Amino acid sequence: MYFQYPLELIGTFFFAISGALAMQNKEHDWFGAGFTGFVTAIGGGTLRDMMLGSYPLVWIGDINFLYAVLIGVIAAILFHRVFVKLRRTFLLFDTLGIAFFTVLGTEKAIGLGVRPEIAAIMGMFTAVMGGVIRDTLTNEVPVIFRKEIYATACLAGAIVYLLLDLNTPLARNVNMVASILIIIFIRLLAVKFKLSLPGFRGRS
């Protein structure tokens, strides 16, 4: 648990930054940026815990998660000009957020005794729902509905984590890091080369 705990805080921090940065061109005040950062950081995990019946919710039971959100939002507000100048900064923080949250969500679901298939879905759900809420609040098309690999990268990472956990003697911490890196690699590779799944078109 010692290794997992800082990863959860780091993932929360990254997602809070991505949520706050999403408001930078929306002409909202600091509260708007802070609120968006907050719901982005805790949204996916909150919905996952409610679906799995895990109470109290993580951010309610541990004040450090609120501190992680607060630090992330403050960092986004204070250094947003620096972040804007850095290309793909928003993409980087969002990618780090989904990678951390996918593996941690999968691990928590397994710990609560659900089947591996459900755990993989819960891991993906943990990662993407914060972004869905963020995009909805900022009046953007949620990223999972765009033609790019996003939720698929999360699901792939969750499956890799479960396969390694159930079928290899690999240490748990090493497995977590490896699965996080796989998600980051898939996501960044997809963005760089504009990879996407085949489009769906119904009959007119």
Q: Which stretch, 9-13, 116-120, 171-175, has highest mean pLDDT? A: 116-120
Report the pLDDT value the prediction gives residue 24, as an integer from 0 to 100. Answer: 73
Report the pLDDT value the prediction gives residue 100, as an integer from 0 to 100. Answer: 94
pLDDT-derived band at 7, boundaries 50, 70, 90: confident
DSSP for the chain, please give it: -TTHHHHHHHHHHHHHHHHHHTTTTTT--HHHHHHHHHHHHHHHHHHHHHHHT--S-HHHH-HHHHHHHHHHHHHHHHSHHHHHHSTTHHHHHHHHHHHHHHHHHHHHHHHTT--HHHHHHHHHHHHHHHHHHHHHHTT---GGGSSSSSHHHHHHHHHHHHHHHHHS---HHHHHHHHHHHHHHHHHHHHHTT--PPP-----
pLDDT per position as a tens digit, 69-101: 999 999 998 988 887 766 567 788 889 999 999
pLDDT-derived band at 103, boundaries 50, 70, 90: very high
pTM of the full predicted structure? 0.89
